Amino acid sequence: MLQEFKKFIMRGNVVDLAVGVIIGGAFGKIVSSFVADVIMPPIGLLLGKVDFKSLFINLSGTDYPSLAAAQEAGAPTINYGLFINNIIDFLIVGLVIFFVIKAINKLQKPKVEEVAAPTTKKCAFCFTEIPIEATRCPHCTSQL
């Protein structure tokens, strides 16, 4: 059973998947930071000094000065600002993955399909398909 497990784990697909998940998790953190710390502040500034992280709808009816205060009080909120950040995260990750896959596809050599050697040829006189080794056409009896 241990040998079977070792064989399963060492298969290329499993190792590649594990590496992809680990790198993807780290890449996701980088993109989240990029969106929250680099992209959203200028967008918020252009839209009138809006901090997207603090945008929320309070469902309790009580006024709270910030999202943190509402969450600390346990008030139900709809955090649409964080949702906007996550949508932008997703779009950036999707765009980067698109460009990475496109670059990888360009780097890979195109697969050259092997062309099978022809087994027949056409008679120059009657244009009938005949075996390539034939020296005389069986249909018109021409010398080839």
pLDDT greater than 80 at residue 7: no
8-12: long-range pairs with CB below 8 Å, 24+: none
Q: Which of 28-37, 90-99, 105-114, 118-127 has the lowest mean pLDDT?
A: 105-114
For residues 101-126, give the mean pLDDT: 81
Q: Residue 85 in contact with residue 52, Cβ under 8 Å?
A: yes
Structural domains of the chain in order of their starting residue, each with its CATH number: 9-112 (1.10.1200.120), 114-144 (no CATH)
User: Is the model's pLDDT at 139 over the cut of 70?
Assistant: yes
Which value, to the nearest 10 degrees, does the dihedral of the CA atoms of residues 71, 77, 79, 80 take? -160
pLDDT grade for 12, boundaries at 50, 70 and 90: low
Q: Which residues contact 128 (CB under 8 A, 6 or more apart)?
A: 122, 137, 139, 140
**Cα distance between residue 90 and residue 84, in whole Å:** 10
Is pTM beyond 0.85 here? no
What share of the chain in percent tops pLDDT 70?
A: 94
pLDDT value at 112 more than 70: no
Q: Phi then psi for 106, rounded to 5 degrees? A: -70, -35
End-to-end CA distance of the chain: 66
Position 56 confidence tier, pLDDT thresholds 50, 70, 90 = confident
The stretch 47-69 carries a mean pLDDT of 83
pLDDT tens string 72-90: 888 898 988 888 888 888 8
